[in-house]
Amino acid sequence: MTTSWESIAQTAQHHRDATLAQINPPLPSIDTLPLNSTPVPRTVLTDSELHITESAPETLISHLASGTLTSTAVTSAFLRRAALAQLLTNCVTELLPPAALARAAFLDNYFREHGKPIGPLHGLPVSVKEHIGMEGLTLDAGFVAWHDRVAEENAHILDVLWAAGAVFYVRTTQPQTLMHLETDNNLYGVTVNPFNRNLSAGGSSGGEGALLGMRGSCLGIGTDIGGSIRSPAAANGIYGFRPTSYRLPVSGWSATMQGAEHIVPVIGPLSTSLAGIALFTKTLIDAQPWRREPSLVPLPWNPHPQLATLPSGTKVLKIGLLLDDGVVRPHPPVLRALRSVAEKLAEVEGVQVVEWTPYRHEWAWTVISSLYFADGGREERDAIDASGEPWRPLTTFILKENGNVKALSVKEVWDWTWEREKYREYARKWGDVDVILCPAGPGVALPHNCARYWSYTSQWNLLDYPAVVAPVTKVDPAIDLAKPDYVPRNEQDEYNYQLYDEPQRYANAPVSVQLVGRRYEDEKVLEAMAYIEEKIGLPWAEFV
Amino acid sequence: MTTSWESIAQTAQHHRDATLAQINPPLPSIDTLPLNSTPVPRTVLTDSELHITESAPETLISHLASGTLTSTAVTSAFLRRAALAQLLTNCVTELLPPAALARAAFLDNYFREHGKPIGPLHGLPVSVKEHIGMEGLTLDAGFVAWHDRVAEENAHILDVLWAAGAVFYVRTTQPQTLMHLETDNNLYGVTVNPFNRNLSAGGSSGGEGALLGMRGSCLGIGTDIGGSIRSPAAANGIYGFRPTSYRLPVSGWSATMQGAEHIVPVIGPLSTSLAGIALFTKTLIDAQPWRREPSLVPLPWNPHPQLATLPSGTKVLKIGLLLDDGVVRPHPPVLRALRSVAEKLAEVEGVQVVEWTPYRHEWAWTVISSLYFADGGREERDAIDASGEPWRPLTTFILKENGNVKALSVKEVWDWTWEREKYREYARKWGDVDVILCPAGPGVALPHNCARYWSYTSQWNLLDYPAVVAPVTKVDPAIDLAKPDYVPRNEQDEYNYQLYDEPQRYANAPVSVQLVGRRYEDEKVLEAMAYIEEKIGLPWAEFV
């Protein structure tokens, strides 16, 4: 006798709701879900809770390390706001109130006894995407059929963050197959954008994205093989970082295609601050995770400034500006944000902005999408069909409508891998450019089930370049007008163009940019982004 | 009309002989090939040629950099000795006298004009295995059918060495498929061991091995996916180093299975000195080859001592001694050399020798040999059959008699790759051990076509550990007795055991050891080997 997928989903949601019911004091029920959820916390949470949850992680850590805030206070505040974020955006698979509060109490006690923090993240709540294994908890990776998989031990990354003092208090949603730039599965439904519930939260780390956009977390863990950290960061007005592969520990997650190495998925942070991104990455690398996980490269975190300086001490930064990949033209707000940033930067002493000519970005998509599902998507089909759950629209898109998904022979996989290596001659295009400034996607957060063009992010996965996404501004329909006279270049371009027929649909949506560096130049990318923010005063809008 | 494979081979050999005929003054003909070739150079070469060619690379470089030797003198001497090595051991595919002498003259002229060397290898002749691309020259990789492949440009590694001042003067032999621990192909025949022509020169970089064993080179380039640098180094009484993958540039070589990444082949040095190994590796890494070849990891050469020190300044070195992998027991001379080295080391202050318990080495072979030819050996079969050339015995062994060679599905490749990753939990066995001291093979140089047990070297390829081979002593049949009462454990063990029924067959053969480090600890392995040599006065025999 098989349990129906609907019944499994209902059980999962009941469990989630039961963990929400543990929140104390309980949240009021929300009768009408507003279009824009971001103002709601002000009407529900205490001043103290608002103050804590709207602080940057580096600020919280500083208070936790000096004893001016307890982990119990911080964790309690984030638990309540995460619960509220769930009610408003459907971004949570479960809260962990008893475990998190016990952990917080332990850390507070440690601090009282020793008079110092236990590690660099002492007492900080960190949110975790569901498919990253947490001992004794589910590991469904978005498949109904995997609902009864349970992690035997913590993922390596959680052990390292735990040793650094983190508190795990919430687990977040992801799409069926993990291979959407959207967050939609049959266990929990669709995660919606905090700024506009008619728009997507991005994906696949969209649970993290919406949770952080709601300030139900200030630092979370996502994963990225084609944009899955950067898409939700961009959609929700927060920061997201895809590091170079093999720098951060990945062992202990659950996903299809274990053992596939053609395109390497990575783990990385989403945060409400750029400093949070750097703190997360540095903390993990400083722990020398390569000692336990030998697939990792023993590149220490480089503490030295990576940008050159003029004799005056002013930094030198040469930026390649990529407005358009030549295949799909980004929507007006994306182009406006990039142009404005570039114009402001051109006025900064030591900064030079040059045009970056895209090199065969269409071919890059052919290569990467041929390698994504080299078994023809067999594992995903089997995992979906095992429970009889319906195919979500973007699963159908990426597996069935993507002409590059084929069951390859081993030889064909080698040939495509060779094409990938040849394409990495992209390295020769850099010259003395330090970073590439480019769109984080073909538009801002898109309407649900419309994220069909991955190349603005997947491009850098193919090349294995580190890339950070940062918020800049918001869509203003009065400025970001549609271009009725634009003539699309191709079918994809036309699809994307038509999505922007009514700018009003996107009102208030965050607009972000992406900054990309050469392979392994993770530290340089983050340094350059921080310098850009400092010099031109980014972001130019409030997101909370 | 197809050319027969015999005719193609004849053409290749004629070309090789024509390049030998360019040597000036010409070599005398050798009427009777002796069992042991190593004394012959003394009867043929001038004192100056002997002195130069028997100097270590670091000594030559020092003289070249100070102007006390010209590159022309050094190159001429190595050209003559390489030609002689070819006559005695059949290790060369072609000499490059005009190009090499022109290059040497250019460098000598540079030195006269600028009063300083052009780079860290100024004027040093470097030998090159044939399948490493050299612009305008063949790139047959040991297949008759590939005889007309010509490199369009130099392999990346050659460009870097060239910029450092190297002189390329000779190209060396390799086996059919490159996948033997022997050197035997249908274009050039069999390369024999300089110390005993009835024994193998090892492989697949056996042309390099025999050439360096004959001192026809002091520094050469080999490649290794299962022991192909270390086997010929051990067989010929020289040094060989398999670095961690993705540290040295590999782009521009020719081989089957381009794009396969399950087991990563590496490039590395063979040298007559340990300092030559370090010099080669450091020179390449210092050139930051990752800027051009983005698959490489940007780990700078670490110039700092890697071993800890006692307050007295004495180094601390903890060595795991692996005498026997529990599958195939090494031959008596190998065990004697390891035990002698370990005993001497145990007397050194700061050095600790502990037993290293092998962890599932038999399984390691199953994993690696399942991944070597994931297409079932299709590419190799096609490349062999295209010319009608015969299958060499060890090609038949590795492709047809190795039960693990199967045409896998993509999913099966992922599963084996996953097994590889799981097996890398070997990292957890290290504790505070610095290096593993172990055999370089199941015996010394074996009789031709008998190298059927790869695990003493392939073990470290699977784990991607850096490993250096160093000479220790020679076989002494009066001490290294057969063990008539030994009861073999299994079929492989019995095969190997029976090869040592007559110790006299191995008289005079070099005996080497292997030192292995954790992944990416290349510098530490070389430092530890140098320290061991210094403290116990290795090697304990003359090899020239």
Q: Is A153 on the interface with B (CB under 8 A)?
A: no
The SS3 of residue A409 is coil
**β-strand partners of B240:** B270, B469
Residue A2 has what pLDDT? Answer: 76
Question: Which of B315, B294, B292, B293 shows the shortest CA–CA distance to B305?
Answer: B315
What are the helix (H) ranges across B377-429?
378-385, 393-396, 410-423
| Record: contact A297-B299, CB cut-off 8 A | yes
CA quadruple B301, B307, B313, B318: dihedral, nearest 10:
-160
| Record: contact A258-B414, CB cut-off 8 A | yes
- In the block, tokens 């994306």 appear at A334
Q: In terms of C-beta density within 10 A (0-12 exposed, 13-18 middle, 19 or more buried), how is residue A337 classed?
A: buried
| Record: contact A409-B375, CB cut-off 8 A | yes
User: Which whole number is the average pLDDT over A477-500?
Assistant: 97
User: Which whole number is the average pLDDT over A317-342?
Assistant: 98
User: Which whole number is the average pLDDT over A162-178?
Assistant: 98
Residues B222 and B270: beta-carbon distance below 8 Å = yes
Rounded Cα–Cα distance for residues B35 and B507 (Å): 11
Q: In terms of C-beta density within 10 A (0-12 exposed, 13-18 middle, 19 or more buried), how is residue B26 classed?
A: exposed
Q: Name the residue facing B408 among A299, A410, A424 (closest C-beta).
A: A410
Our CA-based measurement puts residue A92 at a distance from the nearest CA of chain B, in whole angstroms, of 30
Residue A198 has what pLDDT? Answer: 98
Q: Name the residue facing A417 among B261, B407, B416 (closest C-beta).
A: B261
The catalytic residue among B127, B204, B205, B455 is: B204
Q: Is B414 on the interface with A (CB under 8 A)?
A: yes
Question: What are the strands of the beta sheet with A239-242, ordered from one edge?
Answer: A92-95, A167-172, A125-129, A219-224, A266-271, A239-242, A467-474, A510-516, A435-439, A317-321, A351-355
Enter the tokens of residue A393: 């629209």
Enter the tokens of residue B271: 């040298």
For B284-323, how does the pLDDT look when each residue is reduced to its tens digit (9 = 90+)? 999 999 999 999 999 999 999 999 999 999 999 999 999 9
| Record: contact A299-B297, CB cut-off 8 A | yes
Matching CATH number, B13-28+38-291, of 3.40.50.1220, 3.90.1300.10, 2.70.98.10, 3.30.565.10:
3.90.1300.10
Q: Name the residue facing B421 among A295, A416, A419 (closest C-beta).
A: A295
Active site (catalytic) residues of A = 129, 204, 228
Which residues of B, range 106-125, sit inside 8 Å of A by Cβ?
A: none
Q: Is A304 on the interface with B (CB under 8 A)?
A: no
User: Which whole number is the average pLDDT over A363-368?
Assistant: 98
- In the block, tokens 């601050």 appear at A273
B510 — pLDDT class (breaks 50, 70, 90): very high
User: Which whole number is the average pLDDT over A158-165?
Assistant: 98
For B195-217, how does the pLDDT look when each residue is reduced to its tens digit (9 = 90+)? 999 999 999 999 999 999 999 99
| Record: contact A417-B297, CB cut-off 8 A | no
Q: Which residues of B touch A247 (CB under 8 A)?
A: none
For B166-188, how does the pLDDT look when each residue is reduced to its tens digit (9 = 90+)? 999 999 999 999 999 999 999 99
| Record: contact B261-A261, CB cut-off 8 A | yes
Is A178 annotated in a binding site? The answer is yes
Residue B80 has what pLDDT? Answer: 98
**Cis peptide bond prior to A539, omega within 30° of 0:** yes
Q: Name the residue facing A414 among B257, B411, B415 (closest C-beta).
A: B257
| Record: contact A411-B378, CB cut-off 8 A | yes
CA quadruple B147, B153, B155, B160: dihedral, nearest 10:
150
User: Which whole number is the average pLDDT over A441-450?
Assistant: 98
Neighbours of A404 (CB within 10 A): 15
Our separate counts of H helices and E strands in chain A read: 18, 15
| φ, ψ (nearest 5 deg) of residue A191 | -90, 130
Is A228 annotated in a binding site? The answer is yes
Q: Where are the beta strands (DSSP E) in B191-265?
A: 192-193, 196-200, 219-224, 239-242
Rounded Cα–Cα distance for residues A118 and A108 (Å): 10
Residue B1 has pLDDT above 60, yes or no: no
User: Which whole number is the average pLDDT over A426-436?
Assistant: 96
Residues A497 and A486: beta-carbon distance below 8 Å = yes
Q: What is the rounded average pLDDT for all residues in chain B?
A: 97
Q: Which residues of A touch B417 (CB under 8 A)?
A: 259-261
Residues A81 and A7: beta-carbon distance below 8 Å = no
Q: Is B2 on the interface with A (CB under 8 A)?
A: no
Rounded Cα–Cα distance for residues B118 and B125 (Å): 14
Task: Using CA coordinates, name the residue in chain A closest to B423.
Answer: A294
Domain with CATH 3.90.1300.10 in chain B: 13-28+38-291, 317-536
Q: Is B429 on the interface with A (CB under 8 A)?
A: no
The SS3 of residue B414 is helix
Q: Is B418 on the interface with A (CB under 8 A)?
A: yes
State pTM to two decimals: 0.96
Our CA-based measurement puts residue A298 at a distance from the nearest CA of chain B, in whole angstroms, of 7
Rounded Cα–Cα distance for residues B512 and B13 (Å): 32
Question: Which of B327, B281, B20, B24 shows the shortest CA–CA distance to B160?
Answer: B281
Rounded Cα–Cα distance for residues B80 and A70 (Å): 78
| Record: contact B259-A298, CB cut-off 8 A | no
Rounded Cα–Cα distance for residues B49 and B47 (Å): 5
Report the top-level CATH class of A53-291.
alpha beta
Question: Which of B520, B521, B513 shows the shortest CA–CA distance to B274?
Answer: B513
Rounded Cα–Cα distance for residues B453 and B464 (Å): 19
Residues A83 and A25: beta-carbon distance below 8 Å = no
For B113-169, how does the pLDDT look when each residue is reduced to its tens digit (9 = 90+)? 999 999 999 999 999 999 999 999 999 999 999 999 999 999 999 999 999 999 999
**Cis peptide bond prior to A439, omega within 30° of 0:** no
Q: Which residues of B touch A417 (CB under 8 A)?
A: 259-261
| φ, ψ (nearest 5 deg) of residue A477 | -60, -20
Q: Is B29 on the interface with A (CB under 8 A)?
A: no
Active-site annotation holds for B315: no
Share of chain B above pLDDT 90, in %: 99
For A23-79, how does the pLDDT look when each residue is reduced to its tens digit (9 = 90+)? 999 999 999 999 999 999 999 999 999 999 999 999 999 999 999 999 999 999 999
Q: Is A29 on the interface with B (CB under 8 A)?
A: no
Measured in whole angstroms, the distance separating CA B168 from the mean position of its chain's CA atoms is 18
Q: Name the residue facing B259 among A409, A417, A463 (closest C-beta).
A: A417
State the fold for domain B317-536: Amidase signature (AS) enzymes (3.90.1300)
List all residues 6 or more positions away from A389 whose beta carbon is below 8 Å from its beta carbon: A5, A9, A143, A144, A145, A176, A186
Q: In terms of C-beta density within 10 A (0-12 exposed, 13-18 middle, 19 or more buried), how is residue A476 classed?
A: middle
HSE at residue B248, side-chain half, CA atoms within 13 A, is: 30
* Interface predicted TM-score (ipTM) of this complex, two decimals: 0.95
The SS3 of residue B147 is coil
**β-strand partners of A270:** A220, A240
**Cis peptide bond prior to B25, omega within 30° of 0:** yes
For A95-143, how does the pLDDT look when each residue is reduced to its tens digit (9 = 90+)? 999 999 999 999 999 999 999 999 999 999 999 999 999 999 999 999 9
Residue A1 has what pLDDT? Answer: 54
CA quadruple A514, A483, A204, A41: dihedral, nearest 10:
90
Run of H or E residues at B190: strand B189-190
Our separate counts of H helices and E strands in chain B read: 18, 15
Active-site annotation holds for B512: no
In the 3-class helix/strand/coil scheme, how is A47-99 assigned residue by residue? HHHHHHHCCCHHHHHHHHHHCCCCHHHHHHHHHHHHHHHHHHHCCEEEECHHH
Q: Is B406 on the interface with A (CB under 8 A)?
A: no
Residue B2 has what pLDDT? Answer: 75
| Record: contact A418-B258, CB cut-off 8 A | yes
Enter the tokens of residue B313: 């300044």
Residues A299 and B298: beta-carbon distance below 8 Å = yes
Question: Which of B124, B214, B213 shows the shortest CA–CA distance to B166?
Answer: B124
Residues B186 and B144: beta-carbon distance below 8 Å = yes
